Amino acid sequence: MRLVVFLFFILLQTVSARASIFETQTFTLNNGMQVVVVENHRAPVVSHMVWYKTGSIDDPAGKSGIAHVLEHMMFKGTPAVPNGEFSKIIARNGGSENAFTSLDYTAYYQNIARDRLELVMYLESDRMKNLRFSREDFSPELEVVKEERLMRIENNPGALLGERRNALLWGEHPYARPVIGFKKELSSLTLEDARQFYKTHYTPDNAILVVSGDITAEELKPLAEKYYGKIPPSRTPKAKKQFSESYPVRSKIEMRHPQIKLYSLQRLYIVPSYLSENKEQSFAYVVLDEILGTYHLGKMYKHFVAGKKTARSAGTSYNGFALDKGTFGFFLTAKDNESLDDLEKELDRFADPESITQKELDKAKKRLVADLEYLDDDPISAAMLVGRFYVLGLTMEDLKNWTTNIEKVTLADVKKAYADMLSAASVTTYLMPEDAP
């Protein structure tokens, strides 16, 4: 229910920003909680978000899925707010709310009228410190998560194949574990596991409050101090996350499944992220993704769909928002049951760094520089983007320099990034009907 993949996150992989779009103010409470304010006075509404610097990468060994299970438990109530009342209170006040867990972070948000902001701050701060844990709540909620896994993974051949691909691509790295958890490990999770995860990670000094919309820092600060400032920080210092190296694999997985009617091919590479040591190269991947993968305009579409007509759909995706390395993927759905072996050979011929032209580069950069203009009127997406930057350790300077970093990318930069990627660790997957030859 709450394992959400937002469509606009796809946009966030490929956008740039002007410095004038997100002017933020920040301050830190005495307990270590960072507060970020993004002013937007076009309408009397606000987006209130709490981002925790924890996700499935913090799941203890053998207990995958506990971060996501705790996200569910956060809606089970406190001594002051009975089970199920949190969402009902928000709805009665004309707001909307939800939460999501990712590999690197977990976030909770409410979108509501400005004059209801204090209400949601009370509700969110209450469950940060007073969450109720009972077997009566935990056991049925764990079953809900198991059913969610059954629906999203076990009954979804593409997701099941993706899970197997990630395990092969990342090896012992925590990114190999699914956010929702492995089937067997979910069954072994206990109430005490959830309680301990909450006690360890859900503290104000491990969280960032982002409020975007019709509010100023001067107005927000006393409210933040009133509701969040009194929560004691963790007594245990957070250790810097250490990541093991992924396997240097170049492999392939084939899956046949009775639910599948079309033939599809995907290839995923491990590449630098915005936080990698050579993060400057990440901007070359942003541009490369725009050149190759943009719908109707990208080289993938023009070659495989409009040109050769060997694919029904074609595209790419770059994910640079990761604490460790990122990924770059090619995606193809064959047309008329085209041989995937032939389609892969065609992809290998297509993937040529020297095929990128200066004209394609210039057009891609112009599109990227313009992409965030509409978000100037959208406090919800502003809060999502700003929060994501801060929770990963990026800064507003990184966001404000986004346009400059994109415009600095040269043709040589893109060609080098492309060439480096083609020699990096990768896994190719074939997904086919059950009776495929």
Residue 243 domain-assigned (yes or no): no
Residue 25 domain-assigned (yes or no): yes
338 annotated active-site: no
Identify the domain boundary among 227, 262, 285: 227
What is the separation of C-alpha 58 from the centre of its chain, rounded to a whole number of angstroms?
Answer: 15
Whether residue 166 sits in one domain with residue 311? no
Note down pLDDT in tens along the chain; length 437 residues: 444 333 344 344 444 334 445 678 999 999 999 999 999 999 999 999 999 999 999 999 999 999 999 999 999 999 999 999 999 999 999 999 999 999 999 999 999 999 999 999 999 999 999 999 999 999 999 999 999 999 999 999 999 999 999 999 999 999 999 999 999 999 999 999 999 999 999 999 999 999 999 999 999 999 999 999 999 998 776 666 778 777 788 999 999 999 999 999 999 999 999 998 888 899 999 999 999 999 999 999 999 999 999 999 999 999 999 999 999 999 999 998 779 999 999 999 999 999 999 999 999 999 988 876 666 677 888 899 899 999 999 987 888 888 889 999 999 999 999 999 999 999 999 999 998 87
Residue 2 domain-assigned (yes or no): no
Sign of CA dihedral 12, 13, 14, 16: positive
Q: Is 6 left (phi over 0), alpha (psi -120 to 50) or beta?
A: beta
pLDDT for the residue numbered 376 = 64
Residue 153 domain-assigned (yes or no): yes
* Domain range enclosing 80: 7-227
Whether residue 258 sits in one domain with residue 301? yes
User: How many whole angstroms separate alpha carbon 33 and alpha carbon 208?
Assistant: 6
CA distances (Å), 359 to each of 193, 256, 292, 365, 408, in order? 55, 41, 13, 10, 15
pLDDT for the residue numbered 242 = 73
Strands (E), 258-309: 264-271
Whether residue 208 sits in one domain with residue 76? yes
Whether residue 215 sits in one domain with residue 67? yes
The count of structural domains within the chain is 2
Domain CATH for 388: 3.30.830.10
pLDDT for the residue numbered 403 = 84
Residue 236 domain-assigned (yes or no): no
Q: Which of 71, 97, 148, 338 is catalytic?
A: 71
What is the C-alpha end-to-end distance of the chain, expressed in Å?
37
Residue 245 domain-assigned (yes or no): no
pLDDT for the residue numbered 37 = 96
pLDDT for the residue numbered 247 = 72
Whether residue 199 sits in one domain with residue 296? no
HSE of 258 in the Cβ direction (CA atoms, 13 Å)?
Answer: 1
Whether residue 197 sits in one domain with residue 113? yes
